[in-house]
Amino acid sequence: QMTQSPSTLSASVGDRVTITCRASQSISTWLAWYQQKPGKAAKLLIYEASSLESGVPSRFSGSGSGTDFTLTISSLQPDDFATYFCLQYNDYWTFGQGTKVEIK
If the CB atoms of residues 14 and 41 are measured against other proteins, the closer one turns out to be 41
Determine the distance from the C-alpha atom of residue 7 to the mean position of all C-alpha atoms in its chain, rounded to a whole number. Answer: 12
Q: Which is nearer to other proteins, 17 or 85 (CB)?
A: 85
Among 91, 87, 90, which residue's Cα sits nearest to residue 33? 87
Q: Give the nearer residue to other proteins in terms of CB position, either 21 or 76.
A: 21
Contacts with other proteins by CB under 8 A lie at: 30, 32, 34, 39-44, 47, 53, 85, 87, 89, 92-98
Residue 17 and residue 35 in contact, taking contact as beta carbons nearer than 8 Å: no
In the complex, minimum distance from the CB of residue 63 to other proteins, in angstroms, rounded to a whole number: 17
- Residues pairing with 32 in the sheet: 87
Tell me how far the alpha carbon of residue 38 is from its chain's centroid. Answer: 16
Beta bridge partners of 72: 18, 61
State in angstroms the smallest separation of the CB of 52 from other proteins. Answer: 13
CB of 69 to other proteins, least distance (A): 13
